[in-house]
Structure 1
């Protein structure tokens, strides 16, 4: 018998009609795509898979992923677009044109009142090495791994103030017990 998910009140059996559904991406609105792309590509090594511009509505979408070096990505734009929407765990950065020129413009990070969206998370192979990398790149912290009650978990901020949880999977075995 294979693991079928933890069971709690409200959990239902997966409907047959949902067969093949998968979470493709999470979207964050960004003020300045140049700064956000520098952060996610330079700090996390993500690659931009596809940019989609919607001129009539004044916005662009950037789809990013942290892929293995040997993954084959289609070169042809249409094929790459389809391939992008078949992936798991992508980050979509949405830029509404003109926000980068507004000095006082900022998006709500979801963690101040009223709370809503909380964070995205990256799993890293070595938490201490990741922290040293973030420190050397002057990344802003919400919480360092040694702070607070949840040890071995860090929270950093991206250039728009969104929180990013940083975990090392092998240190999470006893979490929440």
Structure 2
């Protein structure tokens, strides 16, 4: 029998109507696309799969991912759009035009009061090497792997102040019940 998920109060069995549903992306609003794209493409090696502009509403969407080695991403725009919206674990950066020129503009990061959204998370093959890479790229740390009671978990901030958790999967075994 295959794993059916942990059971907790409120958990319900999936229905046939939800077969094939999957989480496609998480969206973060960004002030300046040039700075945000530089951060996610340089620091995390992500690629922009698709940009969609909505002229009338004055915003752009950037869909980013880190395709696996050898994974084939369609070149043709419509095919790539369909492919993008069928993936798992994408990051959508939403830019409302004009925010990049407003000096005092900032989005709520979800961690200041009142708290709401918390963070996104990346896994890395080597947490110590990732910390060194973040240092080399002047990434702001919220917490390093050796700080606080939650060891082996790093929190950094992106250019808009959003928190990013960074973990090495092998170090997570035995950390929590």
**Secondary structure of 1:128 counterpart:** helix
**Secondary structure of 1:133 counterpart:** helix
Aligned length: 177
Question: Hey, what's the Cα distance between the residues in 2 that align with 1:174 and 1:112?
Answer: 30
Which segments of 5 or more consecutive residues in structure 1 lack a partner in the other structure? none
Q: Please say if 1:156 is aligned against 2:156.
A: yes
Alignment of 1:89-168 (within 5 A): 89-168=89-168
State the partner residue of 2:88: 88
**Secondary structure of 1:81 counterpart:** helix
TM-score (norm 1): 0.99
**Secondary structure of 1:52 counterpart:** strand
Query: Would you identify which runs of 4 or more consecutive aligned residues in structure 1 move more than 6 Å?
Result: none
Query: Shift of residue 67 of structure 1?
Result: 1.2
State the partner residue of 1:7: 7
Query: Shift of residue 68 of structure 1?
Result: 1.6
TM-score (norm 2): 0.99
CA-to-partner distance for each residue in 1:116-143, whole Å, 9 max, x for gaps?
0000000000000000000111100000
CA-to-partner distance for each residue in 1:15-37, whole Å, 9 max, x for gaps?
11000000000000000000000
Alignment of 1:7-86 (within 5 A): 7-86=7-86
Query: Shift of residue 39 of structure 1?
Result: 0.1
Query: Shift of residue 10 of structure 1?
Result: 0.3
